A and B are shown apart, each in its own frame.
Chain A
Amino acid sequence: MRDGRGTIKRKAGLKLWLSGGWLAVVAVLTLFAGWISPHDPLTQDLFASRLPPFWAAGAEPGYLLGTDSLGRDVLSRIIYGGRVALTVAIIAGLATAIVGSVLGLIAGYYRGWADAVISRLVDIWMAFPPVLFAILLIAVLGTGLWSIVIAIIVIDWTRFCRVVRAETMNQSQMDYVASAVVAGHVRSAILWREIGPNVLPTIVALLSLEMGIAVIVEAILSFVNLSISTDAPTWGGMIAEGRISIHQAWWVLVCPLIVLFLTVLAFSQFGEGLKDRFDPVLR
């Protein structure tokens, strides 16, 4: 038993440290992009186009991950692209979590007509294919950071709503809620003060997952050129450009792809790790 608990905890810890570490690195790089990035991400140098990354033959010092067909530094573009990705992840993730969780808490606790309306809405919502829905929304809203954020909220609030509603219903059955009712507290106080803190670990875990999803959605939209203004570097946009010159300069495609993959993975693992850490049974 003790050993079992020990291993669970160690694993959760490792997961948390690795994923958290990667996210911290990305956050620091993008936050201080102006000082850290070796080159301006938009400056073209046609004499230095398609330079390979540092380990390959013919690499130039100063261009760690090489350059693309227009001679722009890939590393600098990845760092600046991370700025967009992280901004979207944080703003859209938090906003989606708040909208979905509040509706889920209300549906799960008050039940009755509120639950009926919210749950039907979720069912209808989930029938739409999310990526098509996103592209449609951007077509209506126009491109730009806020359009992406709004699109992600509109598509993904259901994810929070469903899970939070189920967890709230679960918690509402607990004896401590009955005790609070007997004590004479009003329903809203019971919901926010008693049930809320017990649903929070679930919300935090989902939030981390949602941030990863937001990064993917932003990448998809920028891949089809529907993200922020077209000249700013984005991971999805770099992948789209790299696709054209894959046979001459594979690194332009592969480098942002790996960073995107690691970041999304880190978000989901970070969420899992946090959930294990907060779980009162495992704690």
Chain B
Amino acid sequence: MTAFLEIENLSAAIKGTPDRLLRSVSLHVNSGEVCGLVGESGAGKSMIGKAVLGILPSAVEIVEGQVRLDGEDLLAMPQRERRRLIGATAALIPQDPLTALNPSRRIGPQITDRLVDILGWTKHDARTRAAELLDEVHIENPQRVLASYPHELSGGMRQRVLIASAFAANPKLVIADEPTTALDVTVQKQILRLIREMQERHGTAMLFVTHDLGVVSKICQRLVVLFAGMVVEKAGVSDFYANPAHAYSKALLSATPKFTEPFTSLTPVDQTVISAVSEQVEAADREWRHAH
């Protein structure tokens, strides 16, 4: 198996400040594999995905590291070329289906634009493909949905549209940024199953960003645990759940509520563990500062 996405030593910081938001992150996603990226909110999970796709907020800059997509170093490329390469090979399933579709445009062109503009399909082919895709994500009456505006669809429907749109150009890599967080619990399960189904059918590499360890166990083969922008553990999913290596991972796992004991199992991550990892982070920072 070859790594399709490789991130090496990636550090990012707010422009003009020395404090890093991502601390020398290294990880890889193999072709056809789903890799989970977990951590608490603010750990920098989404930021890694955004750094890969080139949509970091303008206040954040990458200070060091490499992002290789199919062996090509993205950060060394001119911007225009990088955008084209990402547009042709990678896609995003965004977090919030309510804002990720343009409210004043119909669904159809929002899916077909990329096929026509970036991949040079004819309008007719793109339209046919879009209808097929909506059918693939189990939307009934695709033609009607293609002619609809986003506000005419429910949240679950919109997320289905976004998934269809992400897989439209047969991407080699899909980054799913908490794709189920904004949805109802009942819809979450269907969407998760759908993402998995699409990923298997298309053989796509996927970086699955989430804070939900339960979701990771259902969809991922490997996972990466993040704390304060630093990778604390990388493991196969079955190994991780059986025997987490890092103390923080252990604490995170035991903080997952169990529905069999709803009241006693609801424990926060242990404070001593937090301070131990924080020290680790500080040590890494000192070392990094020393090297630069």
Contact = CB atoms under 8 A, between A and B. Distances in A.
Interface in A190-205: 193-194, 197-198, 200
Interface in A108-148: 111
A184 B91 CA distance: 10
A184 B87 contact: yes
Contact of A184 (B86, B94, B99, B151): B86
Interface in B77-100: 80, 83-88, 90-92, 94-96, 99-100
Interface in A151-203: 174-176, 178-186, 189, 193-194, 197-198, 200
Nearest to B103: A280
A283 interface: yes
A266 B253 CA distance: 64
Given A179-B162, A186-B83, A280-B151, 9 more contacts: A175-B96, A180-B102, A181-B54, A183-B118, A184-B83, A184-B114, A184-B117, A193-B113, A280-B103
A194 B104 CA distance: 8
A198 B113 contact: no
A180 B110 CA distance: 9
Contacts of B165: 179
A232 to B, nearest CB: 42
Contacts of A111: 58
Contact of B104 (A175, A189, A198): A198
B91 A182 contact: yes
B117 A182 contact: no
A94 to B, nearest CB: 21
Interface string A268-283: 0000000000001001
Given A189-B117, A283-B151, A182 B102 contact: no
A182 B98 CA distance: 18
B90 A176 contact: no
B92 A182 contact: yes
Listed from nearest, the 3 A-B pairs whose CB atoms lie closest are A184-B87, A175-B100, A183-B114
B86 A182 contact: yes
Nearest to B54: A181
B163 interface: no
B101 interface: yes
Interface string B103-121: 1110000100110011000
Nearest to A176: B102
B105 A178 contact: no
Interface in B19-48: none
Given A189-B117, A280-B151, A283-B151, A182 B100 contact: no
11 contacts: A176-B99, A180-B102, A180-B113, A181-B55, A182-B86, A182-B91, A183-B118, A184-B83, A186-B83, A189-B117, A280-B103
B183 interface: no
Contacts of B235: none
A184 B118 contact: yes
B86 A175 contact: no
Given A178-B55, A181-B83, A184-B83, A198 B103 contact: yes
Interface of B: 50, 53-55, 58, 80, 83-88, 90-92, 94-96, 99-105, 110, 113-114, 117-118, 151, 162, 165
A184 B103 contact: no
A176 B101 contact: yes
A175 B117 contact: no
A197 B55 contact: no
A182 B53 CA distance: 6
Contact of B94 (A179, A198, A280, A283): A179
A10 B170 CA distance: 47
Contacts of B100: 175-176, 178-179
A237 B82 CA distance: 62
A129 to B, nearest CB: 36
Given A174-B99, A184-B83, A179 B105 contact: no
Contact of A178 (B85, B92, B104, B151): B92
B94 A178 contact: yes
Q: Quick one: which of A180, A181, A184, A185 has the most chain B CB within 10 A?
A: A184
B90 A182 contact: yes
B94 A175 contact: yes
A197 B101 CA distance: 13
A181 B113 CA distance: 12
Nearest to A181: B55
A88 to B, nearest CB: 31
Contacts of B54: 181-182
Contacts of B95: 175
Given A184-B114, A185-B113, A175 B88 contact: no
B118 A182 contact: no
Contacts of A182: 53-55, 86-87, 90-92
Nearest to B85: A184
A174 B151 CA distance: 15
